[in-house]
Structure 1
């Protein structure tokens, strides 16, 4: 799977998870019928949000995005539905072109993040496992930390 395909899929998954969470919030706060949607889709959105952020970092390292592009990519996950817009913007800018630059045996990683990505790309099954463990661990940290506290409340 190319960086473009992976990023497009995770950006779309993030948008879908936002839509489901907003639907759950509508049911909870507008119709006051149930909070089940917020409980279920809140967790789904949280997991997909974390996965999107991790994939954004990996793709940015491989594609040599600028720090500004990386920050904008991460920030695009905060407002609803912005991740697909950002992905399309990066595609039109050519920032998602090509394959996994660091996935070749002859690749020469230049920094620690590139070395980690190079090792993961050499073993795709291990990379998927590491990704799943990272998402689960970060989700656990988020659950322990709890929801954000509102100002004044």
Structure 2
């Protein structure tokens, strides 16, 4: 069933995957093989997913009554590798029960 909350979970997953690909595959290829095409290829989708993740977090903050501390953790997770996977397990999966 479609819901904006499920869309948020999918965006969180895709944002996390795109960040890992950008950090651990595209960036080393750029500097070690002098080939920036992968960074250019992954950069824009990751940026769009990052902005969507932040927007959805703001959208759901009040609806799920996240405290300020929880909300800051949810926002900071988007800039920490594997952070969005933790958020999905800790905060987003719990909300669906």
Which residue of the partner structure matches residue 29 of structure 1? 31
Q: Give the match's secondary structure for 1:76.
A: helix
Partners of 2:36 and 2:9 lie apart in 1 by 30
Higher helix share: 2
Which consecutive residues of structure 1, in runs of 5 or more, have no partner in the other structure? Answer: 99-153
Which residue of the partner structure matches residue 58 of structure 1? 59
Which consecutive residues of structure 2, in runs of 5 or more, have no partner in the other structure? Answer: none
Deviations 1:44-93 (A, max 9, x none): 2111111110111112221111111111111000012210111111146x
Paired residues, number: 95
Partners of 2:20 and 2:79 lie apart in 1 by 13
Shift of 1:26: 1.6
Which residue of the partner structure matches residue 45 of structure 1? 46
**Structure 1 pair 64–44 and aligned structure 2 pair: CA distance change class (3 A):** same
Q: State the TM-score, normalizing by the size of structure 1.
A: 0.55
Partners of 2:42 and 2:61 lie apart in 1 by 28
Which residue of the partner structure matches residue 80 of structure 2? 79
8 Å Cα contact 2:8/2:56 also seen in 1: yes
Superposition pairs of residues 1-12 of structure 1, within 5 angstroms = 1-2=2-3, 4-12=5-13
User: Alpha carbon RMSD of aligned pairs, Å?
Assistant: 1.9
**Structure 1 pair 27–18 and aligned structure 2 pair: CA distance change class (3 A):** same
